[in-house]
Structure 1
Amino acid sequence: MRPSFGKECLLSILFELFVALLIAAVTPLLIRYFILPTSIHHQYPLNIIFHTCDHDLHSVCSFPAATLEYEKNSLFSPNIAYYLNVRLKFADIANSNKLGLFQNVITMIDENERVLKQYTKSAYVKEPGLIIKSSQVFLFPLYFLGFFYDYSSLAIPMSADYMEKIDAPSTKLVFTVQDKFASIEEAELIVTARFGFIRHVLYYWPTTSYTILFIAVFGIGVFLIVTKIGYLEYSARSKAALERDRAEIMKRKTTNKEVGPTPIKEEINEHKEEVLGVPVIRKRK
């Protein structure tokens, strides 16, 4: 006899599928929350300033510099490596070409004005060649739409492994261009967390990673539900077979008690044997 699953069992399976669906929907969000850091990508404009000379107000007596202040762990998450990039846009490309090689410095400072880290990077402004200049003139619409490289802008990778400790967070960043003749129109700080493969997929491919995790978790849930149903089916079949064998044994015992023992007919076969010349009559059962 095959065990049948009724309405209660069907409702239980539907409820378990709903729970598996809910867990599969929430799990990717929890994984993103616990794996990804709170600070991942930031872009801040830098206000480049300089100091004039006391003896000549038209002269520059300091390097162009910018200071960015922020709260603890708001710009950088502890124990996470970060890329530090600075994008500069020069006001006059003709004068900027005469700068030659200049040095850029980023200094990380904590709340006690203690220097935590300092990075330096040399850079120079590239000058477009004759072919590039001609292309910009004859293909001005494409140049205006941004299809050509902007030689007035310069992206400087300052660091690829800046990491803060939990007990020593920074609260201020100072960027300095060590050339007082640099005519900087705009400056921007770009902070990006450096991820491994899993974090990279979770952050830069949110829809794909969510779908993969959802399917994986829901598949595991369905597998557990199917395994449970199979186990219950096997247990029910085993129990039914055991009950059937037990009933058969009890039936046989009851039948034997009612009928009683079967009489055995004894057939006496007499035959004569001669033992030492004496005839003997024996009975055979």
Structure 2
Amino acid sequence: MGSAKERVVSIFFELCLTLIIAFLTPLVTRYALLPSSVHQQYPLNVVFRTCEHDLHSVCSFPAATLDYEQNSLFSPDILYYLNVRLKFADVANSKFLGLFQSVLRVEDENSKVLKQYTRSAYVKEPGMMTKAYHLFFYPLYLFGFFDDHQNSLVIPMTADYRETAEVPSTKLTFTIQDKFANVEDAELIVTARFGLIRHILYYWPTVSYVAIFLAVLALGIFLTGFKLAWQGYRTRSAAALEKDRREILRNQEEEDEGATKCDKNSNLKTEIVKNEETELRKRK
């Protein structure tokens, strides 16, 4: 009775341990596989320098600088997309801006340039479908339900920026090499590049958590059942071996008893023969 109770307690403990491990495994997996920096957006303050002789003139390219701590914006040895979203002011110059060049520099704490990316872009004229879309939903734009992206542009600067732990960056500098670019708003978009497993873990957190939880739970239950089956097999094997051992001992005891009886009978016959020979001698 005590042994059965101990087995029940052991099974209950193992199932509880399996449940705890299944609960923690998805969290540990996400912490181990996902980088600390996955998707972040930072506003860029684009400024320019005016001319000393004419304050209304622009004497520098519009530029923005973003300072940050080491390993806060990028995780080491992870590939990143670096995109810049620009929103141009609704002025006449923006409509005739034409082709311009953008430069993004990544620097370390000593202002040493680690990477530099250059891209050409231009503001596209909206097509007929876009104009019709804006005209149809114009009341919604007035009430702020939709954003007007007519003067917006997303520039993909790079798709494979990788930072090393030995030389981390601390500053980004973005420059538009066109004095007449009237930027109203700018934003840096940093997105980590993932493989299939990391993509599922990050973009499908609930599905990935449930899948890992059920997989670990099923594995734990299978191992617990296998352990119980193995213990039962060992118990039955030990019982069978003990039974065979007892049977062999009993047979040996029976054989020993038979041999003892045979010896006794042989000795008895020998004594009878001797007695008969003694009697015959006396008669003679």
Give the TM-score of the pair, scaled to structure 2: 0.85
Q: Name the residue aligned to 1:139.
A: 137
Post-superposition offset of 1:141: 3.5
Shift of the alpha carbon at 1:81? 0.7
Q: Give the AA of the match of 1:232.
A: Q
**59-68 vs 26-35, which moves further:** 26-35
Q: CA deviation at 1:136?
A: 2.3
Do the aligned partners of residues 93 and 53 (structure 1) sit closer, same or farther apart at CA in structure 2, a change above 3 Å counting? closer
CA–CA distance in structure 1, aligned partners of residues 87 and 28 of structure 2: 41
Report Cα offsets for 1:194-230 as digits up to 9, x if no partner.
1111111111111111111111112221111111111
The 2-side partners of 1:216 and 1:175 are apart by 46
What is residue 204 of structure 1 aligned with on the other side? 203
How many angstroms apart in 1 are the aligned matches of 2:247 and 2:127? 101
Residue identity in the other structure for 1:261: C
The DSSP-based 3-state class of the residue aligned with 1:188 is strand
Superposed CA offset, 1:30-76 (max 9, x none): 12112111111111000011000001011111111100000111101
Structure-1 residue corresponding to 2:239: 240
1:42 counterpart residue number: 40
Distance 2:194 2:137 in 1: 39
* Structure 1 residue 250 displacement after superposition: 2.7
1:117 corresponds to which letter in structure 2?
K
Question: 1:138/1:122 Cα in 2 relative to 1: closer, same or farther (>3 Å)?
Answer: same
Distance 1:253 1:83, change over 3 A: same
Mark the runs of 5 or more structure 1 residues left unpaired by the alignment.
Answer: 265-285
Does 1:223 pair with 2:222? yes
CA deviation after TM superposition for structure 1 residue 251, in Å: 2.8
Q: CA deviation at 1:79?
A: 1.0
Q: CA offsets, 1:217-276, max 9 Å, x none? A: 122211111111111111111111122222223333334445623979xxxxxxxxxxxx
- 1:111-130 aligned within 5 A: 111-130=109-128
| Moved >4 Å (runs of 4+) | 256-259
Rounded to whole Å, the distance in 2 between the matches of 1:85 and 1:225 is: 50
Which digits, 9 at most, give the CA deviation of each residue in 1:77-100, with x for residues without a partner?
111110000111111154312000
Alpha-carbon offset, residue 4 of structure 1: 11
**Residue 159 in structure 1 maps to residue 163 in structure 2:** no
Q: What is the CA–CA distance in structure 2 between the aligned matches of 1:131 and 1:227, rounded to whole Å?
A: 64
Query: In the alignment, what sits opposite 2:29?
Result: 31
In 2, Cα distance between equivalents of 1:134 and 1:249: 99
List runs of 5+ in structure 2 lacking aligned partners. Answer: 267-284
What's 1:275 paired with? none
Give the residue type in structure 1 aligned to 2:85.
R
* Paired residues, number: 261
**Counterpart in the other structure of 1:74:** 72
Q: Among the aligned pairs, what percent are the same residue?
A: 59
Q: How far apart are the structure 1 equivalents of 2:256 and 2:129? A: 115
- The separation in 2 between residues aligned to 1:102 and 1:52, in whole angstroms, is 20
Q: For residue 117 of structure 1, report the CA deviation from its aligned partner.
A: 0.6
Select between 251-260 and 233-242 the one with higher mean Cα deviation: 251-260
**Residues of 1 paired with 2:17 and 2:108: CA distance?**
48
- 1:113-148 deviations in whole A, cap 9, x for unaligned? 1111110111111122355434422432355533x8
**Cα distance in 2, alignment partners of residues 233 and 179 from structure 1:** 81
Matched with 1:280 is none
User: In 2, distance between residues paired with 1:42 and 1:132?
Assistant: 29
Q: SS state of the match for residue 86, structure 1?
A: strand
The letter for the 2-side match of 1:128 is: P
What is the match of residue 248 of structure 2? 249
TM norm structure 1: 0.85
> Are 1:63 and 1:176, in contact at CA under 8 Å, matched by a contact in 2?
yes
| CA RMSD of superposed structures (Å) | 2.2
The whole-number CA distance in structure 2 between the counterparts of 1:133 and 1:258 is: 113
Q: Tell me if structure 2 keeps the 8 A contact 1:93–1:152.
A: no
Q: Confirm whether residue 103 of structure 1 aligns to residue 101 of structure 2.
A: yes
Taking the TM superposition and a 5 Å limit, the aligned residue runs for 1:4-19 are: 6-19=4-17
